[in-house]
Amino acid sequence: MARRGRLIPGRNPAGDRKAIGASTPRPGADPVQENTDNMKHSISHWTRDTALAVHDLPLMDLLYRAQTVHRETFDPNTVQISRLLSIKTGGCAEDCAYCSQSARNGANLPASKLIEVERVVAEARKARDGGATRFCMGAAWREPKARDMDTLVAMVEGVRALGMETCMTLGMLDDSQVKQLSNAGLDYYNHNIDTSERYYSDVITTRTFADRIETISRVQEAGIKVCSGGILGMGEETGDRIDMLVTLANMAPPPDSVPINMLMPQANTPLADAEPIDPIAFVRVIATARILMPRSYVRLSAGRSEMSDEMQAMCFLAGANSIFVGDTLLTAENPEEDSDAVLLAKLGIQAECPEERTCAEATA
């Protein structure tokens, strides 16, 4: 039977973490411990140095610390399961170097139209019956057009009516679009920062890092939870990975959900021949994310199909507690659902279930 409830009772102050201020470690104090302690009191001010000190701990110490932090807020044997549906594929005006949906890259993925609300709701129902608690809808857009907003609102309302959490990723949003989605009850908005501010322009030139932060701020101000993370293996340096995590951790509040993707090189994109990231380096970033953002869901996102069972288990040990299921993530491959169910069963990990409904027996 799937476990009910997602957080250890009495240990989840997520609802009262809004007053986040800056804190500088006391002179002579252990900056790693100091910042970890501060996080328990909803204060976050990580610097590259303090975050790097976490990241560079001996691996066993890092994993121990990450798992300890993880257990203070979350059930360590539960993962949140999301399913992602592409509601509009290809033909995107942006030039994200990792993406086969960009019209500017050479992948030539055909552009589709926004799909019908009925199809979205039918897919969400299937996802719910298969154990997913959150349904994410992604459109390959620079930003939504005014004419699409009514359809997007109907999608949110239809999926919410199934008792699922809703998430959308639609590109940049203006104030009025945020308001419409908020009024429809959208739970999460995904807008990844992708990498560090320094490395960002090596990956994307059609919008700035500041544009991304602005959309995230708008979404947060409207009370919609934020899902934001990035991609590893795009040629960035360790310092870029750390800076990306520091940017996320110092948001007020940090994102509720932090997807960490491993680049899945897509044919004919500028990053088609990118060197794969070392698995231990990937695990270090997961553990660092867990310590810097102890109350956020850290999601293993794209790239799982290239990870061994052992690597995924290590990521869960490091504090990852959310996954996408389904055969494809927009256009990148994802593990087959059967293999997810087998892996989670082997690890004794169960699907998180919101209190308000009974979840399916299946774990994935």
Contact between 140 and ligand SF4 by CB under 6 A: the answer reads: yes
Question: For the window 87-106, what string marks contact with ligand SF4 as x by the rule CB under 6 A?
Answer: -----x-x-x--x-xx----
- Residue pair 345/364 in contact (Cβ under 8 Å)? The answer is no
Q: Which of 288, 331 has the CB closer to ligand SF4?
A: 331
From the CB of 247, what's the least distance to ligand SF4, in Å?
18
Q: Does 315 participate in catalysis according to the annotation?
A: no
Q: How far apart are CA 32 and CA 28, in angstroms?
A: 12
Catalytic pick among 65, 128, 227, 359: 227
Q: Is 139 in a helix, a strand, or coil?
A: strand
Q: Which of 54, 137 has the CB closer to ligand SF4?
A: 137
The residue type found at 67 is Q
| Interior/surface letters 286-319, b for 16+ CB within 10 angstroms, e for the rest | bbbbbbbbbbbbbbbbbbbbbbeeebbbbbbbbb
Please give the distance of CA 265 from its chain centroid, rounded to a whole number: 19
From the CB of 220, what's the least distance to ligand SF4, in Å?
20
Contact between 303 and ligand SF4 by CB under 6 A: the answer reads: no
- Residue pair 274/293 in contact (Cβ under 8 Å)? The answer is no
Point out the annotated binding site: 92, 96, 99, 136, 167, 227, 299
H/E run at residue 117: helix 117-129
Residue 280 tokens read as 């231990």
Q: How many CB atoms lie within 10 A of CB 325?
A: 25
The sign of the CA dihedral 333, 338, 341, 344 is negative
From the CB of 171, what's the least distance to ligand SF4, in Å?
6
Point out the annotated binding site for [4Fe-4S] cluster: 92, 96, 99
Catalytic pick among 136, 315, 353, 359: 136
Q: Give the residue from 182, 167, 164 showing the smallest Cα distance to 256.
A: 167
From the CB of 264, what's the least distance to ligand SF4, in Å?
12
Q: Which of 43, 103 has the CB closer to ligand SF4?
A: 103
Q: Does 6 participate in catalysis according to the annotation?
A: no
Q: Which of 302, 351 has the CB closer to ligand SF4?
A: 302
Q: How far apart are CA 219 and CA 285, in angstroms?
A: 26
Question: For the window 163-182, what string marks contact with ligand SF4 as x by the rule CB under 6 A?
Answer: --------x-----------
* Contact residues: ligand SF4, CB under 6 A: 92, 94, 96, 99, 101-102, 140, 171
- Among all residues, which ones are annotated catalytic? 92, 96, 99, 136, 167, 227, 299
